[in-house]
A and B are shown apart, each in its own frame.
Chain A
Amino acid sequence: MTGFPTKDFVALVPVAILTVGAIALLLSEVFLVSGRRSYQAVLTVAFAAAAGLYAAWVPPAGAVFGRQGMSDNFSAFVTVIVCGGLALSALVGAGWLDARGAERGEFYALAMFGAAGMSLLGMASDFLVAFIAIETMSLATYALAAYMRRGRRPAEAAFKYLVLGAISSALFLYGAALLFGATGTTLFSDLSRGGGTALHLAGLGLVAAGVAFKVAAVPFHAWTPDVYEGAPTPVTAFMAAGVKTAAFAVLARIFLGAMGGGTEQATALGGIVAALAVLTMVFGNLLALPQRSVKRMLAYSSIAHAGYLLVGIVSAAAAGARDKALSGMLFYLAAYSATAIGAFAVVGAVERRGGRDDEPADTWDLDRFAGLARRRPALAFAMAVFLLSLAGVPPTAGFVAKLYLFQAAVGAQLYGLAIVGVLTSVLGAYYYLRVVVYMYMRPAEGAEPDGLSTTGLTLALGAAVAVVVVLGVLAEPVARLAQAASNILS
């Protein structure tokens, strides 16, 4: 009976593909003869596609490694989003790095290691596995944030990210230890066992705080604007899509595990997450309002979107709305990932470049977008599509995603949360539209350079626009997949 657990390892194939890809790229740097590195992005896309397609096509294996990992449709969906995000970010990154003379295999390798961690996190159903996955993902993203290391801002961003990320990991780990003390297990599925003690509640609170750091929920959001703004733009895109998706996946599993018993603690946890959701939606949107730096505005907007996603998590507590809430969350993550990567890609294309690696203060200023519709009509159009999707205006993916999530919230009778959600999204419309106003309705101040234009960028933007529009107009196939994936194993 103690044969080699083939099935368990087969479930890890997507993670393995990404890891092998990362190693291959690292090695290729060693044997590189010419200075041409354009193959690296292509290779990254190929590995990401392989991992994503494997996850999408091969039926999930079920519980693996003694129920410490769950290979189900949910994890497959998460893996596909992560791999899609990786591929798009790599395409965006290629031109961006090349223009700065900074294209190296390490960049793609780190991104793939990070993606491997994210995919693993989507499967984790045990605190230890989750912690390993979180660390894999985080270490890679810390390094990526510091990739343009000579600049002042990237250095600050990376340092902040590292310190605060380490704190959040510590909180998570300590919470897991307390929960082990309270329940005698590290499995999510047994979380509701041994409820009622103060130890249990403290453990849940610490774990929730740790994950709240990762998803950038208010009041654990303070690192986000600085890190998002300081990190190289393709990295920011990757973080917004990948880290958010993976963190929400594990949050959903933990939350549902803790909800299992329907105890008082569960209700308390639900209340805490609901409060986080309200704070995140309100402050994320309010703080985005005054930003003049588009990149920083998008960082705050990613906080706001985390708030909407938290509404989905809370809705999942209601048994009747669980399927809808989880599938809505997955759909939202897919829509948001495509949209955010696209938006950051445009930001990366128009940003001003200073000497060396230091960005001038107005790198991402709104003025950089003035008159963009005349200079680069296609780029401006793509940005407008992304912004409308972020604002949740039909016929874009963002609208269907919001509809989906709020439908779940109304189904779970969380009317207050839903009302806060739609009203704060009006604030969102205001600051997103401001960028459109600059692009389409204001003339350029001076002679602005045209910005970046590469094949990779064009491909990535085209793909992102296509995803945003298709998810907005023909959402049915993806909605059905999300619904199939909402059946979480535990």
Chain B
Amino acid sequence: MLLTITTFLPALGALALVLVPGTEARQHKAFAFVLSLITFFVSLGLWFGFDASPGAPEFQFEQFVPWISSLGIGYHVGLDGVALLLVMLTTALTPIVVLSTWNAVEDRVKEFMIALLVLETAMIGTFAALDLVLFYVFWELILIPMYLLIGVWGSQNRLYATVKFFIYTFAASVLMLLAILYVYFHDGGTFDYVEARQALQVSPDAARWLFLAFALAFAVKVPMFPLHTWLPDAHTEAPTAGSVILAGVLLKMGTFGFFRYAMPLFPEAALHFRTLIATLATVGIIYGALMSLVQTDMKRLVAYSSVSHLGFVMLGLMALSAEGLTGGVYQMLNHGVSTGALFLLVGMLYERRHTRLISEYGGLARQVPLIAAVFVIVTLSSVGLPGTNGFVGEFLILSGTWLSRLRHSAVFSTLAATGVILGAVYMLLLVERVFFGKLTNDHNRHLPDLTLREGFVLAPMIALIVVMGLVPQPFLAPAKPAVDRLVQRFQQVEVRLGQGPQVGTETTAFAARAALPGVPAMPAPLPAAPAHPEVH
């Protein structure tokens, strides 16, 4: 029930906003802010109520209500640890985003807030759904408010960007709908995810096609190379709020989809396509980084860096070792926080100078020392400096991949590691060109520094960067049961296939030891694949 309340509270708020007169822009902002804050506090109940012990049920806060029973569709929601983390990310980011748009959005404020709140409901619903059709409904519902956010409040080239965004994602998802329908006829006639996962009976060939249909929808959303081309356009043209939500939450829906649906439903097919996906992920890491190096537009640079970062997440997932998966999940959160913060900062600079071109800036550190300081912290988190959240995620992914049984894992992790280096290069170059060096452009001489409101926007992000970097355990703990279950599921498949071990790590003990020193605050052995079946 609590989960349902969290999901629909923003939508109810949007409905209430419809009734508020259209001219009171400040009221709308305040209302949306307070409402998203309330949603966050309600969702804290989920955070503290979640039982992360190994014996706890897989899905918690479960609720089932018959919906369109004659079609086999039910309203079934529930959270596992990964979904919980992403729901928390969503509810935490939304008030920040609302606060950040205080002065940026002047036109049609009411509609803007309505779109934002509907978007929040759709995002939470996507993570909470445990029915395939319900999931699809929320998944597609995202498109409408996002399409409006980019198209109505975006910048110059917004119409092209928003139509491209919509058509790209819509086209990729319709085949997933067919796959869902196919699943319905091969699991005893239900759309319920938990039942379908148990009862699904399909031939290996069919499973591969189904996996591809799901994977296509998710890969576009992630976005994986070479399906990423909508992202730079959408990110660049979207208003700051849109970019933050897009980077912070929407992209995670793709990786979450792999974790929750594509991989557990069709494990054999996932193993079959594993090398291909890992290759694309690695290409994406390097390609995204190289593209970032040559961008002249700040937002575009951050957008391409997202392609690179999400490549890490996908590589971690495909490693299919506990470390890699955990790292992937952690990196989803990291990317949400640090890239979200980067877009907020770029948005603040844009509000001051109305340009996103890097060449227009330079030597800002003297004028706006606070912004510069925050920018540097966020940059360090983005490049994965030890002590920040980025380090934990990237380290887990790289070590998890290296030690995993993914074929050529050493090659993958080595190449991915060069992506880390390139990441440092383009981010630090950006900082240098924007904040340091000589102040040449006269327009930059009198810029106001961080305001109090902007401080409130950025403070939680900085806090998360530091806390998640130093004390990762509370954020890793909820993910552990879900990760372990996925690994176990793959181990069962491995036994069934009888082609030797393919998941988990080469040597459990070594992996645990390797993971320890780098992350001082990380307690006890990481979820190394328990009782690995060397013996089967």
Interface size on B, residues (CB 8 A): 33
- CB of A441 closer than 8 Å to a CB of B: yes
Contacting pair B136 A430 (CB below 8 A): no
- CB of B170 closer than 8 Å to a CB of A: yes
In angstroms, how far is the closest chain B Cβ from the Cβ of A341? 22
In angstroms, how far is the closest chain B Cβ from the Cβ of A328? 9
Residues of B170-202 whose CB lies within 8 A of A:
170-171, 174-175, 177-178, 181-182, 184-185
- CB of B23 closer than 8 Å to a CB of A: no
Once bound together, how far apart are the Cα atoms of A442 and B133, in whole Å?
Answer: 34
- CB of A394 closer than 8 Å to a CB of B: yes
Once bound together, how far apart are the Cα atoms of A476 and B174, in whole Å?
Answer: 23
User: In the complex where A394-B137, A399-B137, A433-B166 touch, is A483 in contact with B70 (Cβ < 8 A)?
Assistant: yes
Residue of A nearest to B168 (CB): A426
In angstroms, how far is the closest chain A Cβ from the Cβ of B145? 12
Contacting pair A407 B184 (CB below 8 A): yes
- CB of B422 closer than 8 Å to a CB of A: no
Once bound together, how far apart are the Cα atoms of A480 and B167, in whole Å?
Answer: 33
- CB of B1 closer than 8 Å to a CB of A: no
Residues of A within 8 A of B432 (CB): none
User: In the complex where A394-B137, A394-B141, A437-B159 touch, is A480 in contact with B70 (Cβ < 8 A)?
Assistant: yes
Contacting pair A393 B185 (CB below 8 A): no
Residues of B within 8 A of A407 (CB): 71, 181, 184
User: In the complex where A440-B148, A440-B151, A475-B68 touch, is A422 in contact with B177 (Cβ < 8 A)?
Assistant: yes
In this complex, the member of A406, A423, A433 whose beta carbon has the largest number of chain B beta carbons within 10 angstroms is A433
- CB of A411 closer than 8 Å to a CB of B: yes
Once bound together, how far apart are the Cα atoms of A294 and B151, in whole Å?
Answer: 20
Residues of A within 8 A of B141 (CB): 393-395
Residue of A nearest to B141 (CB): A394
In angstroms, how far is the closest chain A Cβ from the Cβ of B153? 10
Residues of B130-162 whose CB lies within 8 A of A:
133, 136-137, 140-141, 143-144, 147-148, 151-152, 158-159, 162
Residues of A within 8 A of B136 (CB): 394
- CB of A74 closer than 8 Å to a CB of B: no
Once bound together, how far apart are the Cα atoms of A158 and B446, in whole Å?
Answer: 70
Once bound together, how far apart are the Cα atoms of A479 and B166, in whole Å?
Answer: 29
User: In the complex where A429-B167, A441-B152, A441-B158 touch, is A479 in contact with B185 (Cβ < 8 A)?
Assistant: no
- CB of B428 closer than 8 Å to a CB of A: no
Contacting pair B152 A406 (CB below 8 A): no
In angstroms, how far is the closest chain B Cβ from the Cβ of A380? 11
Which residue of the partner chain, among A327, A410, A440, A441, contacts B181 with CB atoms under 8 Å?
Answer: A410
Residues of A within 8 A of B162 (CB): 437, 441
Once bound together, how far apart are the Cα atoms of A384 and B80, in whole Å?
Answer: 36
Contacting pair A388 B144 (CB below 8 A): yes
Interface flags for B441-452 (1: CB within 8 Å of A; 0: not) read 000000000000
Contacting pair B140 A393 (CB below 8 A): yes
Once bound together, how far apart are the Cα atoms of A442 and B162, in whole Å?
Answer: 13
- CB of A490 closer than 8 Å to a CB of B: no
Contacting pair B174 A410 (CB below 8 A): no
- CB of A403 closer than 8 Å to a CB of B: yes
Residues of A within 8 A of B70 (CB): 327, 476, 479-480, 483
Residues of B within 8 A of A268 (CB): none
In angstroms, how far is the closest chain B Cβ from the Cβ of A201? 32
Contacting pair A403 B178 (CB below 8 A): no
In angstroms, how far is the closest chain B Cβ from the Cβ of A474? 8
User: In the complex where A394-B141, A429-B166 touch, is A479 in contact with B158 (Cβ < 8 A)?
Assistant: no
Residues of B within 8 A of A429 (CB): 166-167, 170-171
- CB of A298 closer than 8 Å to a CB of B: no
Contacting pair A422 B148 (CB below 8 A): no
Residue of A nearest to B177 (CB): A422
Once bound together, how far apart are the Cα atoms of A483 and B70, in whole Å?
Answer: 8
Contacting pair B174 A404 (CB below 8 A): no
Residues of B85-116 whose CB lies within 8 A of A:
none
- CB of A425 closer than 8 Å to a CB of B: yes
Residue of B nearest to A394 (CB): B137
Residues of A421-446 whose CB lies within 8 A of B:
422-423, 425-426, 429-430, 433-434, 437, 440-442
Residues of A within 8 A of B177 (CB): 403, 406, 422
Residues of B within 8 A of A400 (CB): 68, 71
- CB of B69 closer than 8 Å to a CB of A: yes
- CB of A418 closer than 8 Å to a CB of B: yes
Contacting pair A410 B67 (CB below 8 A): no
Interface flags for B385-413 (1: CB within 8 Å of A; 0: not) read 00000000000000000000000000000
Contacting pair B178 A441 (CB below 8 A): no
- CB of B477 closer than 8 Å to a CB of A: no
- CB of A27 closer than 8 Å to a CB of B: no
Residues of B within 8 A of A430 (CB): 163, 167
User: In the complex where A393-B140, A441-B151, A476-B69 touch, is A426 in contact with B178 (Cβ < 8 A)?
Assistant: no
Once bound together, how far apart are the Cα atoms of A476 and B73, in whole Å?
Answer: 10
Contacting pair B69 A426 (CB below 8 A): no
Once bound together, how far apart are the Cα atoms of A327 and B148, in whole Å?
Answer: 34
Contacting pair B67 A422 (CB below 8 A): no
Contacting pair B163 A433 (CB below 8 A): yes
- CB of A419 closer than 8 Å to a CB of B: yes
Residues of B within 8 A of A419 (CB): 175, 178
Residue of B nearest to A323 (CB): B70
In angstroms, how far is the closest chain A Cβ from the Cβ of B456? 31
Contacting pair B133 A403 (CB below 8 A): yes
In this complex, the member of A393, A425, A434 whose beta carbon has the largest number of chain B beta carbons within 10 angstroms is A393
Contacting pair B181 A406 (CB below 8 A): yes
Residue of B nearest to A425 (CB): B174
In angstroms, how far is the closest chain B Cβ from the Cβ of A376? 14
Residue of A nearest to B158 (CB): A441
Interface flags for A390-408 (1: CB within 8 Å of B; 0: not) read 0001110001100110110
Once bound together, how far apart are the Cα atoms of A410 and B202, in whole Å?
Answer: 14
Contacting pair B178 A418 (CB below 8 A): yes
7 interchain pairs (CB within 8 A)? A407-B71, A407-B181, A418-B181, A422-B177, A441-B162, A476-B66, A479-B70
In the A-B complex, the 3 residue pairs with the smallest Cβ-Cβ separation, listed nearest first, are A422-B174, A394-B137, A410-B181
Which A residues form the contact surface with B (CB < 8 A)?
Answer: 327, 388, 393-395, 399-400, 403-404, 406-407, 410-411, 415, 418-419, 422-423, 425-426, 429-430, 433-434, 437, 440-442, 475-476, 479-480, 483
Given contacts A403-B71, A410-B184, 6 further A-B contacts (CB under 8 A): A393-B143, A394-B141, A422-B175, A437-B162, A479-B68, A479-B70
